[in-house]
Structure 1
Amino acid sequence: MKIRIFDTTLRDGEQTIGVSLSPDQKLAIAKKLDELGVDAIEAGFPVISAGEFKAVKMIAAAGLSCEIAGLTRTIKNDIDAAVDAGLNYIHTFIATSDIHLQYKLKMTREQALEKAIEAVEYGKSRGLQVEFSAEDATRTDREFLKKVFGDVAKAGADRVNIPDTVGYSTPEYMAVLTKDTVEVTKLPVSVHCHNDFGLAVANSLAGIHAGASCAHVTINGIGERAGNASLEEFSMALKCLPFEKKYETNIKSELIYDTSRFISKTVGIIVQPNKAIVGTNAFGHESGIHTHGVLSNPLTYEPISPELVGRKRWLQVGKHAGIHGMNAMLAEYGVKPTEEQSKQILDKVKTLGDAGKQITDVELLSIASDVLGEKELKRIVQLTGFSVSTGIGTMPYAFVKLNIDGQDHIGTDYGVGPVDAALNAIQKITGKISEIRIKDYGLASISGGSSALCEVTVKVEDAFGNKVSAKSVGEDIVTTSVKAVIDAINRIMLKKMLQEKQVR
């Protein structure tokens, strides 16, 4: 059974606190979503601002292969704005729960029903495909909800949608409402679930299993409050979990991670590390028991192959590490310690882990070099001096001193900001030693307040096209950025050096 994916990242997702997208950004995201294979994109709410209208119009005119919808209230002016923006598909809504009717709309049930019917009829008179939503459906009187959906179906609606507006439903109740709606409308039914109780994906799947043919979702599950049902979790659950029926979507799963990263960077919302499918840790392993199992057969501790969603498996060493996982990491660099040396390296790793230190592969190699007595495994690049100056009326300036393979190098440069100046100074030094370029830089806040922690992710590339990523977390943006870049440079230079060693 083919399930329709209606993506509302650009509408409900943009309602995430702190997110505001320009028309050009919205168009870029729409193109990514279209490449991913979504069936419909809710491009925005055309009537709310000139910029939103422009964005929707640009997306509607972009020639994308998926359907493009716009949100409207049950107001003629909203529907006219959607038509003027070039849309031929609207998602129109009015609240139907008593709490919304009494405190927000100041309407009776009969008045809300009348507005719903009028909007559907008017949308159809303008030649539009109309999807109708009964806002706060899961807190609406069940019999009244059936009447609303039945009457808008008679009025000509093409689709109806069941919104769990405040994430209040359980999977069991979502299934009941879905069966009601399918029975009373005989139309394609969508479910639109919020994640206030962490049940958005479960509720969406329950709706599908009960007869819905479409789910409204967002990339990374972004959206108001706790967010919406996550596209990546929902689509991969349909693809991989053992349901009684076989479900399919048009989502190109191998593009999921790339799309997630692109949108995370564009909207400025970091993906939590333990987020299913797209989180940093989703395919990472540290525990010795787990890494041993995964190295023997990945299915022991992974439900799906990471490549299926555009990911790669990675191993981490620390206090929970085991010899098998640690040796597998060392083997990637061509380092093969004896059994006794492995035990010595692991003991040092666990000691650092017990002290609360996170150990990168660069540090692992440095530990291995002490045990094996191979100086070439030492950290190649070390930061020995660093300062920046900036202020009003002066261009940011940075001084960086690096020790590379035992020799000191100094670099200075300016930039549009202190971080830019520091990275420019580093590139001046590395350009003399090895052609290493910073290809990507990402900054995200992972805690609030005046002492907020930031997370910096960088990607560097050498002249041969080898790419390496590194991440650093700290309180100072500039220092954290420099540490991330130095770590990335070490990784790529170590890999290159050890590869050359193996060739010789």
Structure 2
Amino acid sequence: MDGDRTVRLLDTTLRDGEQAPGVSLSPDEKVDVARALDRAGVAVVEAGSACTGAGEREAISRVTDLDLDARVTSFCRGLRDDVDLALDCDVDGVHLVVPASDRHVEGKVGTTREEVLETTADLVAYAKAHDLWVEVIGEDGSRADLDYLEAVMETALDAGADRACFADTVGHAGPERTHEAVARLAELGPVSAHTHDDLGLGVTNALAAVSAGADLVHCTVNGLGERAGNVALEEVAIALAHVYGVETVALEELYDLAQLVSRSTGVPLAPNKAVVGENAFTHESGIHTDGTLKDDRMYEPYPPETVGRERRLALGKHAGRAGVRAALAEHGVDADDDELAEIAARVTELGDRGRRVTDADLLAIAEDVTGDDRERTVDLLGLTATSGGPVPTASVRLSVAGEERVASGTGSGPVDAAVSAVREALGSAADADLESYHVDAVSGGTDAVVTVEVTMHRDDRSVTVARSEADITRASVQAMVDALDRLVDPDREVPAPADD
């Protein structure tokens, strides 16, 4: 594949991605995602299907009003009415979907091959007469007779379509079939590829399509979509850039984009997800950690900063001395060789018990081994939370540098209210960002225990703490207080919160 090739990405998170079970985006969320896609340099944003309903058309119109650099489009069935509805949303273009396989021509639509050709030519001419950019998608193209698929796309291009699209609608094809089909269509004119991941071949087929001549790839952020999802935008982008030297988008925007879509859709990222998963640049193995500390590229295909990430060294049963030494150094803790060996042994022992070793665990072990005990600056003395009324409320009693402070707060739930109370009691000392909040495990039975893990960041330091309690509110607040205690500088006075 020639690195000088121009390949662009079409993102359909707001249409095909939203068709994933349980995913529904509000107009505001669609606007936020569309802006993020535009910042990343995505060439085409498919904002939705105007035929879905009034709410969908409002969302599409909100996106078209943003005046993005990206082309904004709508999905359309093989109906003039769908094109009219898209025009009402002031989109730049449309994707006209027509049946390509006999299964869809006869079984789904109940028509004939000849009628599909006539309808395709009519729809393309109609859309072009209204100054729309037009892409024609042959639905189920990977299972179509290739001679007929070629005839459909030739008809579309002859009628004025800007490009044809090979669609592996059900993730059925392998790379050989994809390459053969796209190569034939590329002889006719500009061609796109729309691949799904049902066989785990989404990226492979997208790359095969580009190799065969496709210059536009349909994808979704985080691989959202029906069934096993669409091909993931971040995976296509980094594969084209890293393996073939083909630049498509601003790679440094990929992680923030993935996080935004995950929050908006409520679909969490798998830890082992390529490019954007939590573990993608996390090293625990002693051999890997030691190698990474010696050479950043030792166990990584590309630097994490390439995609807006940071490298993490995790501690667990596989941790070695090099990783423990590096983790201690991040917290300003010195240990001699004998102390380091003992700390590393205890970390391994804790990991052997199935525990993820948090920053707080490591520092507690280090303090015990070195004898360098520290006095807490912030401690939780008491907590009361109620959620029976219309507004959940909570009050906390803290010890802050030896001074007792009491504060109350309200929130959307008891945990939120309690956290607000803690921030009220600590004032500016609580100006730390909550990077993650995770309910790690809940044991069953009458003695059920919930484990809450939080990661907080302040200035140039972050700390991860886990606490286990019978009550999720207390576990959450205790974890947050423990994290803040680690982040607050004990040598500086903790000011009282300002009076309103």
Asked if these proteins are the same fold (TM beyond 0.5), I'd say yes
- Checking the alignment, whether the CA contact within 8 Å between 2:435 and 2:457 is kept in structure 1 is no
Equivalent residue for 1:178? 182
Counterparts of 1:498 and 1:332, CA distance in 2: 18
Counterparts of 1:175 and 1:479, CA distance in 2: 57
Give the CA deviation at 1:169: 1.0
Equivalent residue for 2:497? none
Counterparts of 1:107 and 1:479, CA distance in 2: 63
State the secondary structure of the residue aligned to 1:343: helix
Counterparts of 2:487 and 2:81, CA distance in 1: 57
- Checking the alignment, whether the CA contact within 8 Å between 2:124 and 2:156 is kept in structure 1 is yes
Change (3 A) 1:482 1:139: farther
Equivalent residue for 2:334? 336
Which of 411, 415, 420 in structure 1 is aligned with 2:411? 415
Equivalent residue for 1:247? 246
Q: Is 1:63 aligned with 2:67?
A: yes
**AA of the residue aligned to 1:196:** D
Counterparts of 1:467 and 1:172, CA distance in 2: 49
Give the CA deviation at 1:330: 0.4
**Cα deviation 1:116-166 (Å, max 9, x = unaligned):** 222112111222111000011111122211111121111111111111111
Counterparts of 1:339 and 1:153, CA distance in 2: 72
Change (3 A) 1:364 1:45: same
Counterparts of 2:386 and 2:479, CA distance in 1: 20
**Cα deviation 1:378-414 (Å, max 9, x = unaligned):** 76555554442212x4431224455556776554333
Equivalent residue for 1:389? 386
Counterparts of 2:275 and 2:317, CA distance in 1: 25
Matched ranges for 1:409-488 at <5 A: 410-431=406-427, 435-437=429-431, 439-440=433-434, 459=456, 461=458, 465-466=459-460, 468=462, 470=464, 478-479=473-474, 481-482=476-477, 484-488=479-483
**Cα deviation 1:213-239 (Å, max 9, x = unaligned):** 110111111111211111111111111
Equivalent residue for 1:122? 126
- Checking the alignment, whether the CA contact within 8 Å between 1:443 and 1:454 is kept in structure 2 is no
Equivalent residue for 2:496? none
Equivalent residue for 2:200? 198
**AA of the residue aligned to 1:296:** K
Counterparts of 1:476 and 1:69, CA distance in 2: 48
Which of 149, 152, 159 in structure 2 is aligned with 1:155? 159
Matched ranges for 1:82-231 at <5 A: 82-183=86-187, 185=188, 187-231=189-233
Change (3 A) 1:286 1:235: same
Counterparts of 2:467 and 2:101, CA distance in 1: 45
Give the CA deviation at 1:484: 4.9
Equivalent residue for 1:327? 325
- Checking the alignment, whether the CA contact within 8 Å between 1:317 and 1:360 is kept in structure 2 is yes
Counterparts of 1:339 and 1:479, CA distance in 2: 38
Change (3 A) 1:113 1:402: farther
Change (3 A) 1:291 1:229: same
Counterparts of 2:282 and 2:491, CA distance in 1: 24
Change (3 A) 1:478 1:138: farther
Which of 320, 327, 343 in structure 2 is aligned with 1:345? 343
**AA of the residue aligned to 1:188:** P
- Checking the alignment, whether the CA contact within 8 Å between 2:358 and 2:464 is kept in structure 1 is no
Counterparts of 2:254 and 2:282, CA distance in 1: 17
Change (3 A) 1:497 1:168: farther
Equivalent residue for 1:34? 38
Equivalent residue for 2:21? 17
Counterparts of 2:118 and 2:285, CA distance in 1: 60
Pairwise CA RMSD: 2.9
Q: Is 1:270 aligned with 2:255?
A: no
Counterparts of 1:444 and 1:106, CA distance in 2: 50
Equivalent residue for 2:8? 4
**AA of the residue aligned to 1:146:** E
- Checking the alignment, whether the CA contact within 8 Å between 1:120 and 1:156 is kept in structure 2 is yes
**AA of the residue aligned to 1:176:** E
Counterparts of 2:64 and 2:369, CA distance in 1: 62
Equivalent residue for 1:398? 394
Which of 250, 254, 257 in structure 1 is aligned with 2:255? 257
Taking every aligned residue pair, what percent have the same amino acid on both sides? Answer: 40
**AA of the residue aligned to 2:247:** E
- Checking the alignment, whether the CA contact within 8 Å between 2:313 and 2:323 is kept in structure 1 is yes
Alignment length (residue pairs):
484
Give the CA deviation at 1:7: 0.9
**AA of the residue aligned to 2:319:** A
- Checking the alignment, whether the CA contact within 8 Å between 2:13 and 2:220 is kept in structure 1 is yes
Counterparts of 1:317 and 1:486, CA distance in 2: 22
- Checking the alignment, whether the CA contact within 8 Å between 1:437 and 1:460 is kept in structure 2 is no
Give the CA deviation at 1:112: 2.5
Which region of structure 1 is more displaced relative to structure 2, 480-489 or 37-46? 480-489
Give the CA deviation at 1:416: 3.2
Give the CA deviation at 1:58: 1.8
Change (3 A) 1:11 1:235: same
- Checking the alignment, whether the CA contact within 8 Å between 2:78 and 2:98 is kept in structure 1 is yes
- Checking the alignment, whether the CA contact within 8 Å between 1:458 and 1:484 is kept in structure 2 is no
**Cα deviation 1:159-187 (Å, max 9, x = unaligned):** 1111111111111211111111112x2x1
State the secondary structure of the residue aligned to 2:45: strand
State the secondary structure of the residue aligned to 1:300: coil
Which region of structure 1 is more displaced relative to structure 2, 26-35 or 381-390? 381-390
State the secondary structure of the residue aligned to 2:366: helix
**AA of the residue aligned to 1:293:** G
**AA of the residue aligned to 1:129:** W
- Checking the alignment, whether the CA contact within 8 Å between 1:333 and 1:498 is kept in structure 2 is no
**AA of the residue aligned to 2:100:** T
TM-score (ref. length: structure 1)? 0.88
Which of 282, 285, 294 in structure 2 is aligned with 1:284? 282
**AA of the residue aligned to 1:210:** A
Change (3 A) 1:139 1:397: same
TM-score (ref. length: structure 2)? 0.89
State the secondary structure of the residue aligned to 1:435: helix
State the secondary structure of the residue aligned to 1:43: strand
